[in-house]
Structures are given as structure tokens and as C-alpha cells.
Chains A and B, each alone.
Chain A
Amino acid sequence: DTAVSQTPKYLVTQMGNDKSIKCEQNLGHDTMYWYKQDSKKFLKIMFSYNNKELIINETVPNRFSPKSPDKAHLNLHINSLELGDSAVYFCASSPFRSGGTQYFGPGTRLTVL
């Protein structure tokens, strides 16, 4: 009965490839997020979706495209992967658009070779 789940947990790929990460929450929350944690452990928001609508886009390169088929799912597709994309990507959800505690998934460690 995992609250926020992500797949895959690990992703190793070559530069230039395209990959996707999936996220699902069973908390009934309206809002979902993607965060990137770099090698120095800085955790920064990338995107925020509310009921399938994009509400925050933190100047992330166009190669990153989030998609929310319904409010329980938020996927992240990355085109033309670069070395600098290597990081841990976390999905999170919160009850409301404007606040509430965010609950995080276990993370996806992406390594670009």
C-alpha cells in the first residue's frame, strides 16, 4: 500500500537516449511534483501538476516533458539525455494546489554514461 511509488528505481543509459520515469500516488491528492536531487544533494523542484494541469515549470530544459494522464499519475519523459541529467529524481504529491504536506516517492537514480 505504498503511498507514492516510482518506477524504475534505477536507470542507467547512454547519452542521447530517451527515457521515461513513472510515478503513481494512491493518496487521493490533487497535486503532484517532480524534483531533481543533484550529486551535492540539493533538492529542487522541476514541475508541479494540479489535476492534470501544469502549474509550475521551473525553467527546465525542453528535453524534459512531464505528462499527467490523470491526477494519480505523473510521468517524466527525458529526450536526448545528457551527462548532466544524472541525478536522483523524486516524485511527490500533496493534497492541495496551494499547500499541505508533500509526500515523496523513493526516487529514481538516473545515470547517464
Chain B
Amino acid sequence: SQELEQSPQSLIVQEGKNLTINCTSSKTLYGLYWYKQKYGEGLIFLMMLQKGGEEKSHEKITAKLDEKKQQSSLHITASQPSHAGIYLCGADGVVQGAQKLVFGQGTRLTINP
């Protein structure tokens, strides 16, 4: 079965600094989702990557999928307090014709003012 490993597990950065979160898969990724979770709230969809080498950006967040489709990174530029939360990557898979997402363990991001 597919497993995702996120690193680091937690990250504390000064406001305004850049940061990167990595997501490594044990198998080829056919689709990779990034979500953000704030305490007491559900998961908010950020981006989805499918093609090797693909890169997507939304505001100050950029996600990339490597050419071999086994690793993805999430980069935040000039971090702000609103970026704080838990970031989860999810691998897209299909079991018996049904979608099944497998998630990494999450990266807890704290932004210090």
C-alpha cells in the first residue's frame, strides 16, 4: 500500500521567512493533493498536482511535483501568521473503481511574529 512521509513534522519560522514542506511517496504519485488544516476546522484544499514537473501557485504558496512523481514540495514565500496550521499531502489512488486518498502525517507550521 502507498505511504506518504512528510518532513519536517513541525516547523517554527519567523514571520516573513520562506519555508518548504516535503512529501515523499513510497510509490509513483498519480495525483497529489495539498490541504491546510486550522485548529478546529476542516481541511482546506490548496492545490492538486498530476504531471511530473508540474508547478502550481496560489498567492504566496507554490507546490511542485518532481519529474519522477514520487516527491512533492510546498513552498511558502514571506510567511504570514495566516499561514499557520497543519499541512497535509494526500496521494490520489483508485480502489475497485473508487477514489481513495492516502494522507501523510501532516506538518505543523507555527509562524512567530
Contacts and interface: CB of A to CB of B under 8 A. Distances in A.
Interface of A: 4, 31, 40-45, 48, 50, 55-56, 90, 92, 94, 96-107
A45 B100 contact: yes
Contacts of B99: 31, 48, 94, 96-100, 102
B113 interface: no
B45 A101 contact: yes
A106 B98 contact: no
A105 B37 CA distance: 11
16 contacts: A41-B108, A43-B103, A44-B103, A48-B98, A55-B97, A55-B98, A56-B95, A90-B43, A97-B97, A98-B98, A102-B33, A102-B99, A103-B45, A104-B42, A104-B43, A104-B45
Nearest to B30: A99
B46 to A, nearest CB: 10
The DSSP consensus for interface residues of chain B is strand
- A-B pairs, top 7 by smallest CB distance, nearest first, are A104-B42, A104-B43, A55-B98, A106-B42, A43-B103, A41-B106, A99-B99
A19 B107 CA distance: 31
Contacts of B103: 42-44
Given A41-B106, A99-B94, 8 more contacts: A40-B105, A43-B106, A48-B98, A48-B99, A50-B98, A97-B99, A98-B97, A102-B33
Nearest to A42: B105
B31 interface: yes
Given A42-B105, A48-B100, A106 B94 contact: no
B73 to A, nearest CB: 20
Given A40-B105, A41-B86, A41-B106, A104 B35 contact: yes
